[in-house]
Chains A and B, each alone.
Chain A
Amino acid sequence: MARLDTATGFGRYIIHSFKVTKALLVALLVLSIFPGGFLLFMPQGARVAFSWVYMPVMAATILILTPFFTHSLESLVGLAYYRKKYPPAPYSESVEVNELAKRMGIKADVKVFETDNPAVKSPFTNLFYSTIYYPRSWFRFKGKERLAIFGHELDHIKDKRRFLLEVVGAILGTYVFTLLLGFIAILIVCEVAEFCCGMLAISYVSWRNERRADSGGAAAVGAAPLISVFEALDNESKKKRSDGSSLTHPPFSDRIRRLYRILESEPAVALAGGE
């Protein structure tokens, strides 16, 4: 559920939606393959025309990705910097979380920590150590809703899907385009294509992982509490002119829509007038 807050700095003037970034990355990737891949064989006029299209798209992509990378860096530095000042403490209701982990079929011993670290803006999971960090600012979600958030995080641990994310990113970002375009393309075009493809692949796999974690969490705790949490977060992110989407997370509206489908397929209501 970890999410980077991109509504500060000059980024606050942009409507934060990864859809725009995605469109730019796709455009840059397509341009890099064709005609970019054949840049050396083009007549001089065509090469100039290509650069007039290519450079603005590249500049726009760099501009839109800058807040993302600066905030990623800020989060990483912040995590390390504030770690001593705000050390993570064991989560007080971890028995409940461990019971949920057992119910979800997780064999690993899951450790849950709560923290005041300002760099931890939302819950996140360290898959390699099976630990979950939960910011105290998220204690506003109580009972079933908080358990649904843990359900989502636990589903990340369940199959260690993030490993696939790293593998896909590494393979696609490093080798595929070097082999396909490396012989004919000039270095910059080739590197840009690799970068775009890597970003898009990571986004695709990560979005899929998040959707799976939502389904897994909903199967364990029920879809309603998670929908409620996302509706609250969606409401908060709208105030920051964001739809909640990022490189790693799909927009809230999409996640809510999918969870409603799960909600509809859940067992029938116990009472005619409501549950």
Chain B
Amino acid sequence: MAMKFIVDGTAEILLHPSRIAIVKCLLEHKDGLFVEQIASKVGVNARMVSHHLDVLEDEGLVKSTYQLTKVEGSKRGVAVRLCVTTPKAGLVLKDIKESI
């Protein structure tokens, strides 16, 4: 059904200014980004990014995994939340663009 995500309210969740910026940023980085990286790219507080990612993950627009990554200045790995968008995010964005 066309505009399916507008009707079921998913688009409304994505229409938050920060969330749409986060999703667009993640769509540009297919390998995924972790919270601090998203925060610096989007210019939103890291804790707010974390909250928005929770909302987006609940809605099935973003998938996140926890993993260890090497960071400069740290001998041991640092635990990060790596986030990638799901195919649903692209479809919702498409719906929004069409409706505009």
Number of interface residues of A (CB under 8 A): 22
Interface size class of B (residues with CB under 8 A): 20 to 34
> In the complex, which residues of chain A have a beta carbon less than 8 angstroms from the beta carbon of B69?
273
Tell me whether B16 and A273 are in contact (CB under 8 A).
no
Within 8 Å of chain A (Cβ to Cβ): is B95?
A: no
Could you tell me the dominant secondary structure of chain A's interface residues?
Answer: helix
Tell me whether B45 and A274 are in contact (CB under 8 A).
no
Query: Which of A266, A269, A271 gathers the greatest number of chain B CB atoms within 10 Å?
Result: A271
Tell me whether A224 and B16 are in contact (CB under 8 A).
no
> In the complex, which residues of chain B have a beta carbon less than 8 angstroms from the beta carbon of A228?
16, 18, 48, 51-52, 55
**Chain A 133-154: CB-based contact to B (< 8 A → 1; otherwise 0):** 0000000101111000000000
Within 8 Å of chain A (Cβ to Cβ): is B31?
A: no
Query: Which of B12, B52, B55 gathers the greatest number of chain A CB atoms within 10 Å?
Result: B55
In chain A, what residue has the closest Cβ to B80?
A273
Within 8 Å of chain A (Cβ to Cβ): is B35?
A: yes
Tell me whether B34 and A142 are in contact (CB under 8 A).
no
In chain A, what residue has the closest Cβ to B38?
A274
Asked if A271 meets B51 with Cβ closer than 8 Å, knowing A142-B58, A228-B16, A260-B45, the reply is no
Partner-A contacts on B (CB < 8 A): 9, 12-13, 16-18, 34-36, 39, 45-55, 58, 66, 69, 71, 78-82
Partner-B contacts on A (CB < 8 A): 140, 142-145, 222, 224-225, 227-228, 231-232, 235, 260, 263, 266, 269, 271-275
Known contacts A143-B58, A227-B48, A269-B47; 11 further A-B pairs (Cβ under 8 A): A142-B58, A144-B54, A145-B55, A222-B51, A228-B52, A269-B46, A272-B36, A272-B79, A274-B35, A274-B39, A275-B35
